Structure 1
Amino acid sequence: MTPKQTQRLIKKIADIKRALATEKRKFGGYDDSRGLRYLPTRYYLQLADYKGGLAYTRWFAKSFPDDIGFPDFLFEWSILLFKAGKFAQAKAKVWQTFCANTYVLDKFFGHPIQPIQKYEWSNLAQAAFTEYFIYSHQQADLLDFSHWLEAFMASELFIVHKDRYLILHQHLQGEEDVETRGYLRQEANQLEDAIEF
């Protein structure tokens, strides 16, 4: 990356922070309907500024505590945690990424995307998202992360939780009984929220 490209990315981050600060002053909170808050993680990764990226994600978590984030944003957050040596937190964020979009990790590794019949807001939208996902296990700057992620995804704990999560969502898709759906949804939520790797 040239010094000019570096300066351009630094300026983009500063502009986003300034725009968000202006919203907070103007509205007393954030009204970021444009989704600017999701962009800096990508820029921090491009800059290889993992410390700055983690500082940003800490601010994000504090400023938007109820924001579940988009899958690519969560994936970028996972990389930042990994690059900073925070492996347990990186595993939890990878799991959160998987729960947000079960196709992202396959897309990263170049596996063909095979839509699974499961309950979610839209199988097509989930699958279409992966067309815009820009990360690959072959990127030179992500090779260490790629090897680590591959080993983590092959771990028994990840496989067991992944399989159970998919089974629950497959049952949810066809279940019409309200009470049964409630139990299935509750277990799925517990899997999403309470996993510690």
Structure 2
Amino acid sequence: MIHCLPLTQVLLVFAEDDDQSNGFRWACEKAGFRCNIARTPESALECFLDKHHDIIIIDHRHSRYFDAEALCRSIRTTKPSENTVIIGVVQSSKIPNNLCNIMYRTRYVENSSRMACYNELIQLEFGQVQAQFKLRACNSLFAALEKSQEAIEITSEDHVVQVCSWISNCAKVCSPEKHHFIKTLFPSLALKAEERFCYQ
């Protein structure tokens, strides 16, 4: 069975159409990404909460349309934004030193060239977006390990244990009295433990 990754979703937040927003829109179509466009901070937040975009590109060049920093903070306070890559489009002459630290994972210096926009999206897709996807998968795996009632061990290709659930750890080191307690609470675990470990 072949599992396909979902299409990357991009949210463009630009108050009006210009060469820069058109460049990113063209780049999304060329890359095969799903693209939504928002004109106001309210519609951007609403759209993001509905679709949980992988990449958000916010126009940070002009403050007369909307407060880009406030929008970014609003998005960052939501749960779905944990693994979202937010990009700030800035003018080359006005790049605050702490811009990346405060809000954005990265910044894009204004360049409306379609190929520059396309290259930026592709680099994000194969860099930060995939890294966030793997991080999300690892978080899900560790959450499942914590809640599991079975002994689970994850090994490397050389069969060296890399990660194991707390129940698996308990089964390895417990005394006969504790083993009886585990056997009472988790019969399937105790059976597996008896097959695999020696108890003194």
TM over 0.5: no
TM-score, normalising length from structure 2? Answer: 0.27
- More helix by percentage: 1
Higher gyration radius (CA): 2
- Greater strand proportion: 2
TM-score using structure 1 length: 0.28
